[in-house]
Structure 1
Amino acid sequence: MRILLVEDDDRIAKPLAEDLRHQYHIVDIAEDGLLGWEYSQVTPYDLILLDLMLPRLDGITLCKRLRAAGWTSPILMLTSRDTTTDKVVGLDAGADDYLVKPFDTEELAARIRALSRRSAESRPPILSCGDLQLDPSTYSVTYGEKDLSLTPKEYMILELLLRNPTRVFSRASLLEKLWEFDQLPGEETIKTHITSLRRKLKEAGSSEDFIETVYGLGYRLRAN
């Protein structure tokens, strides 16, 4: 899941983003509301975590602007304001959920999972291609009867390919979708991850071209 975290306090934003990355999410951080708006216009985020008190453009105004522009992905507000009135204002502005600071990271993770299920009811609970199965709820991957131990980026690449079984992804598009704006590596990084994924799949029993190279274009899955 690609998440936009709009939070101006580095003491909250950086450790929260790191925790979310450990949960296999891609996280971009916007330090103010106007930057959050600009990010939302160029990237299709699956979820926005939105602080209420922000410089340049406050969270309520940003939330209203997003909904007015047709934004349909979930918005979860994070704020130190805990009165009923504040919650009502946030929800009426278009937020899907409201979490009061300080919060437990496990509770935030549970709410993100709930919002994800709510916004992706049509998605299959387990993604599969031939003998390959990936369970997004447990981050587990199996090929046949064998468990695959993947790095976070390997998992993200495989999940993206499984969710788009007929699409060919170029190295540049994989970088754009699976890396944060300020951490973009070179395209050789994708080649390294694909090579490692192929090796692990082959060791589990797949064909060598289970992840197929479409020359001049990119990669896609190819069932045995």
Structure 2
Amino acid sequence: MNVLMIEDNESVAEMMQMFFLNEGWEATFKYDGKEGLDAFLGQPSKWDMVTLDLNLPTLDGVTVCREIRKISKSVPIIMLTARDSESDQVIGLEMGADDYVTKPFSPLTLIARIKALHRRVENAEKPTGEDTTANQPFDVVTDHFKMNTKTREAYLDGNIVSGLTPKEFDLLFTLAKKPRQVFSRDQLLELVWDYQYFGDERTVDAHIKKLRQKIEKVGPQIIQTVWGVGYKFDDSGVGNQ
């Protein structure tokens, strides 16, 4: 795996370099936002993972994340932040980050998050060994909605829901393949993020917010809140909206 770590704290970078080497990963370190963004833009297809500090000189992490997402919707991004305010974390996720880790963090925790995120991306891109798109083009089909996990496309009444990040697509697929089933935030964290957040559920709410915004660009809302419980997919009322 090729990891681009944009981190202005050299002690953190040096510490993580040892852990990356232990995993057999190649890592490139940049210490300010502009250098990091330039490194990504120079070879967008090289990187399998980007870890991005929120507080960076020259360009802040939110700006770097936004610019990376203009080039690549699929490269996994984990944002690192010393801040513990909900607004900072939500802003990072809304700009396109797939995950965040709050400093100080255990190197093993970051390694586990990287592995989990990379594993889900690999599984999503892995060929099945046979082309079934002609006979079964969609993995989810309801009265108003359909999804294809091979092309990573989702349609609401024939209109494509565009600009979905990998996590947003996985979240939508998890909900849509079991219409009207209510999922708690903890369940979604385990199913979509592949590990537990130990009670930190705000990342689900941030992704749901962005997902709803993209759905509403093409049609009625199909992600419903079940107050006090969680979220569900329900397009049964689309024709009435």
Q: TM-score, normalised by structure 2?
A: 0.50
Tell me the distance in 1 between the aligned counterparts of 2:70 and 2:108: 31
Count of aligned pairs between the two proteins: 124
Q: Does 1:14 align with 2:6?
A: no
Q: In the TM superposition, what whole-angstrom CA distance separates every residue of 1:57-100 from its partner, at most 9, and x where no partner exists?
A: 11000000111123421000011011111111010010000000
Query: Structure 1: how far apart are the matches of 2:30 and 2:55?
Result: 13
Cα RMSD of the aligned pairs, angstroms, is 1.3
Q: What amino acid maps onto 1:84 in structure 2?
A: E
Asked if 2 retains the 8 angstrom alpha-carbon contact of 1:5 and 1:17, the reply is no
Aligned-partner residue type, residue 123 of structure 1: K
Corresponding residue for residue 30 of structure 1: 30
CA distance in 2, matches of 1:57, 1:71: 20
Q: What letter is aligned with 1:109?
A: I
Which residue does the alignment assign to 1:111? 113
**1:29-68 matched pairs, under 5 angstroms:** 29-43=29-43, 44-68=46-70
Runs of 4+ in 1 over 6 A off after TM superposition: none
Q: What whole-Å deviation, never above 9, does each CA across 1:117-167 have from its counterpart, x for those lacking one? A: 12111338xxxxxxxxxxxxxxxxxxxxxxxxxxxxxxxxxxxxxxxxxxx
Q: 1:77 aligns with which of 76, 79, 86?
A: 79
SS across alignment from 2:52: strand
One-letter amino acid matched to 1:116 = H
How far off is 1:14 after superposition? 1.1
* Counterpart position of 1:92: 94
**What TM-score do the two structures reach when normalised by structure 1?**
0.53
Whole-angstrom CA distance in 2 between matches of 1:71 and 1:42 = 16
Gaps of 5+ in 2: 128-241
Give secondary structure in 2 for the equivalent of 1:120: helix
Where does structure 1 lack aligned partners over 5 or more consecutive residues? Answer: 125-224
